[in-house]
Amino acid sequence: MTIPENFNSKVTITHITTATAIVDIDGVKFITDPIFDDAPQSHDRSQAIGLKPGEFFLTMQEGPAIPIRQIPIIDCVLLSHEDHVDNLDETGRQLLIGRRVITTPDGAKNLSDYPGTCAIEPWQTLKFRLGGEEWSITGVPCVHVPGGQVTGFLLHKKSFGNSPDGRPNVVYFTGDTVFMEDEFRKLRERYHVVVALTNLGQAMLPSPKSPTGFLKITMGGEDAVRMIEVLEADILVPMHFESWTHFTQDGKALEEIFTFGGLGNKVKWLSSGKEVNVV
């Protein structure tokens, strides 16, 4: 993998579970989609997708690698959406108390009891001072479950530098989304992605309206290969492919797909509960 010479920051990622990870950039700590309930958990989501009660459950088989009481001081919560229990659960809500939380407009409205919460729109850039430096955080569109709002995030600060053609170098957290060629092309035109922390798993929901009977709501390995090609990103960091029964591609399947797709030297795998040096 090749990293821009002017990217003068250290990035480490500690994966906790699902889409929950601590992204530490030069000592400033972000946490993504915090869930910390114990496993096993099973949630009847039948009516939310047009089925009869008892026909579909979201089932978590593994709990967090690090309990919430052992989480370090967090500077900012990047919450892709607040209305799905595999992205924000009851225990995870404790991390919102007294912290800066960035999420969707609907999410900010629903979390209005937490005064540190603010909304971000697609392609909107907000400025924050974290760790004594100015950060730019930009919202990225997502396509997930129909009717719901979801956001991805781009992180940038001065030490990340710019590409030779002037695009800011960024760290990208995709949030929950399927492959979006048009939006990914827009992203590439505006930014250079150094690290793409990517929710995968090819999550599937039953869908009575779909010809196949199922609806894909997150990317799979083949989508990640295409995404990295479109973005011309430097590093792919996969997560969100274990612990839940609606995920259909595990790490072994992803590894085979990435090898076949020629991504081997661009992939940085995380280790559950351990801090991994990414850049």
Helix axes 221-231, 181-190, angle to 10 degrees: 30
Specify the 3-state DSSP secondary structure of 134: strand
Element (H, E) at 138: strand 133-141
Which spans in 208-265 are helix H? Answer: 221-231, 251-260
Q: What type of residue is 129?
A: R
Q: What is the DSSP string of 61-105?
A: -S--SS-GGG----SEEE-S-SSSTTTS-TTGGGGGTTS-EEE-H
Mean pLDDT by 10 residues, the chain (279 residues): 92 98 99 94 75 79 94 98 91 96 97 97 98 98 89 98 97 97 98 98 84 88 98 98 90 96 94 97
Domains contained in the chain, CATH given: 11-277 (3.60.15.10)
The confidence score (pLDDT) of residue 21 equals 99
Q: Please tell me the pTM assigned to this model.
A: 0.94
The confidence score (pLDDT) of residue 49 equals 67
Look up residue 77 and give its two tokens.
């919560």
